[in-house]
């Protein structure tokens, strides 16, 4: 299932029993069952969670349990709906490896995913769907080079996007490894610096040059007039040596210090289980520190109930279904501001603005559960915006979003930043973390390892390894091509490439 929560049966108490449930139903003998469950838990790196409750896990850990409960059955046909949406990049690669092994052994695997960069190298073929119709079915590389993708808002892997921006010919590379020889060859074919001069004959790889270049990625041509944003009272957040241990004894935060400033976007990255969600729940008071201090503006969070903190901190849950419970989008979005005491015109105004900001105006009377998961995420975002909190935390807002969704999100974050909000966005999407952030905070094992500008954080290979992360594909390519060690965004890459030519 797309939402791993829906996969957990709830009939069993531990992760081990949950994963064994299917085999039990098939009447598999005890010894074989134990062997198979252990093997699949180890393969998905959740052996250490075997005795935990399937509900007392991080989002990504829970998704691994959901995948394990299916893989353990060794099915001949496997259909998966965004199975890796909440997994960190390494975990996603591990699941792709398992699926490739299954396919190798004769199983048929069908995978619905937005993570083309990691799925395409394993795919025998790709199907492109548009509004319920199959519009293309071909080898993955061919589908990825199809101009239709631009129309349909499908995000290509970063190496392919760069090649497209630079006007290099298809077929485009999908992985960094494929990209290296491809871009090296293209660099070698650039005119020597002294032969330059006639800039009028634009080289075919000029930024935004041809073959559906940069212009394809510009947002919709008819910008809607957007509602004006409130300018919130500037509210910095500071965590000072914060510790947190769950009642079950899991030590999730081990001394975290972090400052978030108004008018800045901080992206928070880290492996599954690193403590990102726990950290955000401490800022909005859903959890209270075991030790250390959390300050929100001039308040010490510990001195205020969650209902007070809701005026200052908005938190969009990792799983939107944890926060949606009304029968129309309008009521859902009105719930928060109503609780804060807004009524009449003021309430109407707050809801209308939040719906406009998230593009949901037309969906006001729809039941939230009649919307797709990605749209429900927008409802969750709107319900937080409607409370107009100065501090906004978004827990994995990029999950399950296509290219347009990501662009919509980037525009919204930008506007909130300009208005002066304090913003924290948790993400496993390293491209997004690098493109959108003023600062990147990197967590591992309950600690913040470093905070700094994207170029700096993603240039530190040692710390990245320690955190079990990789820098964005753009950064890895730029580094390997000696274009620069602090290049992390597409725009920087394209500029550095042009610099090579000049
Ligand atoms: N309700 C809970 N009870 C007990 N332990 C929990 C609970 N929720 C999370 N944990 C544990 O706390 C640690 C941190 O979890 P957290 O959800 O903060 O991680 P995360 O960085 O958000 O991970 P992900 O990327 O998978 O969402 C993990 O070891 C996790 O198993
Ligand atoms: Mg989380």
- Token representation of residue 26: 């098939």
344 CB neighbour count, 10 Å cutoff: 7
User: What separation in Å is there between the alpha carbon of 57 and the centre of ligand 1?
Assistant: 5
Q: Which of 61, 245, 393 to mutate to test the pocket of ligand 1 (most atoms within 8 A of CB)?
A: 61
- Which CATH entry fits the domain spanning 4-113: 3.40.50.150, 2.30.30.100, 3.40.630.30, 3.40.50.300? 3.40.50.300
Long-range interactions of 224-228: CB distance < 8 A, separation 24+: 224/356, 226/356, 226/357, 226/415, 227/352, 227/353, 227/356, 227/357
Is it the case that residue 221 has pLDDT exceeding 60?
no
In whole angstroms, what is the distance from residue 58 CA to residue 243 CA?
Answer: 17
Residue 500 pLDDT grade (very low, low, confident, very high; cuts 50, 70, 90):
confident
How high is the pLDDT of residue 195? 44
Is it the case that residue 228 has pLDDT exceeding 70?
no
Comparing C-alpha atoms, which of 377, 398, 272, 287 is closest to residue 332? 377
Highest mean pLDDT of the ranges 168-182, 196-210, 256-270: 256-270
Question: What is the mean predicted confidence (pLDDT) over 198-219?
Answer: 38
Is it the case that residue 122 has pLDDT exceeding 50?
yes
Domains 4-113 and 237-496 share a fold: yes
User: What separation in Å is there between the alpha carbon of 338 and the centre of ligand 1?
Assistant: 31
Q: Pick 368 or 400 by higher pLDDT.
A: 368
CA distances from 243 to 239, 273, 275 (A): 10, 15, 11
Residue in the structure block whose two tokens are 């070698």: 188
Task: Please say whether the beta carbons of 101 and 109 come within 8 A.
Answer: no
User: What separation in Å is there between the alpha carbon of 323 and the centre of ligand 2?
Assistant: 15
Task: Please say whether the beta carbons of 88 and 60 come within 8 A.
Answer: yes
pLDDT digits (tens, 9 = 90+) for 432-454: 999 999 999 999 999 999 999 99
Q: Cα 349 from chain centroid?
A: 30
Q: Cα 191 from chain centroid?
A: 39
- Token representation of residue 185: 């060859």
Q: Which of 8, 45, 92, 252 to mutate to test the pocket of ligand 1 (most atoms within 8 A of CB)?
A: 252
Is it the case that residue 501 has pLDDT exceeding 70?
no
**Sequence-distant (≥ 6) Cβ neighbours of residue 285 within 8 angstroms:** 301, 304, 305, 306, 308, 309, 313
Comparing C-alpha atoms, which of 13, 30, 12 is closest to residue 21? 12
In whole angstroms, what is the distance from residue 249 CA to residue 56 CA?
Answer: 11
User: For the chain, which residues make up each domain, given as ranges?
Assistant: 4-113, 237-496
Is it the case that residue 196 has pLDDT exceeding 50?
no
Ligand 1 interacting residues, C-beta cut-off 6 A: 56-61, 86, 246, 248, 250, 252, 270, 272-278, 318
User: What separation in Å is there between the alpha carbon of 248 and the centre of ligand 1?
Assistant: 12
Q: Which residue's alpha carbon is nearest to atom 1 within ligand 1?
A: 56
Question: What is the mean predicted confidence (pLDDT) over 36-53?
Answer: 95
Residues across the chain: 502
How high is the pLDDT of residue 206? 37
Task: Please say whether the beta carbons of 434 and 451 come within 8 A.
Answer: no
Residue 388 pLDDT grade (very low, low, confident, very high; cuts 50, 70, 90):
very high
User: What separation in Å is there between the alpha carbon of 60 and the centre of ligand 1?
Assistant: 8
In 271-421, DSSP assigns E strands to 291-296, 299-300, 313-316, 391-395
How high is the pLDDT of residue 204? 37
- Sign for the CA dihedral angle at 460, 410, 162, 159 comes to positive
Residue 402 pLDDT grade (very low, low, confident, very high; cuts 50, 70, 90):
confident
**Sequence-distant (≥ 6) Cβ neighbours of residue 383 within 8 angstroms:** 323, 324, 332, 333, 335, 336, 354
3-state secondary structure of 450: strand
What percent of the chain shows pLDDT beyond 90?
73
Q: Which residue's alpha carbon is nearest to atom 31 within ligand 1?
A: 57
pLDDT digits (tens, 9 = 90+) for 281-325: 999 999 999 999 999 999 999 999 999 999 999 999 988 888 888
Rounded to the nearest 10 degrees, what angle do helices 59-71 and 30-43 cross at? Answer: 140
Q: What is the mean pLDDT of the chain?
A: 89
Nearest ligand, CA of residue 55? 1
How high is the pLDDT of residue 230? 73
In this structure, of 98-112, 189-203, 224-238, 314-328, the range with the lowest mean pLDDT score is: 189-203
User: What separation in Å is there between the alpha carbon of 464 and the centre of ligand 2?
Assistant: 19
Question: What is the mean predicted confidence (pLDDT) over 84-105?
Answer: 92
User: What separation in Å is there between the alpha carbon of 3 and the centre of ligand 2?
Assistant: 14
Is it the case that residue 220 has pLDDT exceeding 80?
no
pLDDT digits (tens, 9 = 90+) for 472-487: 999 999 999 999 889 9
- Which CATH entry fits the domain spanning 237-496: 1.10.760.10, 3.40.50.300, 3.40.50.720, 3.40.50.1970? 3.40.50.300
How high is the pLDDT of residue 383? 95
3-state secondary structure of 80: strand
Q: Which of 95, 249, 278 to mutate to test the pocket of ligand 1 (most atoms within 8 A of CB)?
A: 278
Dihedrals phi, psi of 46, to nearest 5 degrees? -125, 20
Ligand 1: atom nearest CA of 60 is: 26
């Amino acid at each position: 299932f797309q939402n791993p929560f829906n996969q957990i049966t709830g009939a069993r108490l531990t992760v081990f029993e949950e994963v064994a449930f299917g085999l039990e139903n098939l009447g598999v003998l005890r010894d074989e069952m134990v062997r198979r469950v252990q093997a699949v838990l180890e393969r998905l790196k959740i052996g250490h969670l075997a005795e935990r409750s399937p509900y007392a896990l991080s989002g990504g850990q829970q998704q691994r349990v959901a995948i394990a409960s299916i893989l353990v059955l060794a099915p001949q046909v496997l259909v998966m709906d965004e199975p890796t949406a909440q997994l960190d990049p390494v975990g996603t690669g591990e699941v792709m490896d398992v699926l490739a092994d299954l396919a190798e052994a004769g199983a048929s695997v069908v995978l619905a995913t937005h993570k083309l960069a990691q799925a395409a190298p394993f795919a025998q073929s790709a199907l492109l769907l548009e509004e319920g119709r199959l519009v293309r079915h071909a080898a993955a590389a061919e589908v990825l080079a199809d101009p239709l993708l631009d129309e349909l808002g499908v995000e290509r892997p970063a190496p392919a996007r760069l090649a497209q921006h630079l006007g290099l010919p298809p077929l485009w590379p999908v992985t960094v490894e494929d990209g290296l020889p491809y871009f090296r060859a293209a660099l070698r074919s650039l005119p020597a610096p002294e032969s330059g001069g006639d800039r009028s004959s634009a080289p075919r790889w000029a930024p935004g040059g041809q073959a559906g270049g940069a212009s394809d990625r510009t947002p919709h041509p008819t910008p809607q007039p957007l509602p004006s944003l409130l300018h919130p009272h500037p509210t910095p957040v500071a965590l000072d040596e914060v510790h947190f241990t769950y009642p079950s004894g899991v030590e999730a935060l081990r001394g975290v210090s972090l400052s978030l400033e108004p008018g800045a976007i901080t992206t928070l990255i880290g492996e599954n289980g690193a403590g990102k969600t726990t950290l955000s729940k401490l800022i909005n008071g859903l959890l209270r520190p075991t030790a250390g201090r959390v300050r929100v503006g001039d308040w010490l969070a510990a001195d205020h109930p969650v209902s007070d903190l809701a005026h200052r901190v908005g938190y969009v849950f990792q799983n939107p279904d944890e926060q949606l419970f009304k029968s129309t989008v309008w009521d859902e979005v009105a719930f928060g501001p109503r609780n804060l005491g807004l009524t009449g015109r003021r309430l109407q105004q707050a809801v209308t603005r939040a719906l406009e900001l998230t593009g949901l105006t037309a969906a006001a009377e729809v039941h939230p559960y009649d919307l797709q998961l990605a749209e429900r995420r927008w409802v969750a975002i709107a319900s937080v915006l409607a409370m107009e909190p100065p501090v906004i935390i978004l827990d994995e807002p990029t999950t399950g979003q296509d290219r347009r969704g990501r662009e919509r999100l980037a525009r919204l974050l930008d506007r909130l930043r300009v208005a002066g909000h304090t913003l924290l966005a948790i993400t496993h999407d390293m491209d997004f973390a690098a493109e959108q952030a003023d600062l990147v905070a990197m967590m591992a094992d309950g600690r913040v390892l470093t905070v700094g500008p994207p170029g700096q954080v993603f240039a530190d290979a040692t710390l990245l390894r320690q955190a079990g992360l990789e820098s964005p594909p753009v950064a890895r390519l730029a580094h390997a091509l000696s274009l620069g060690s602090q290049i992390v965004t597409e725009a920087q890459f394209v500029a550095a490439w042009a610099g090579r030519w000049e």
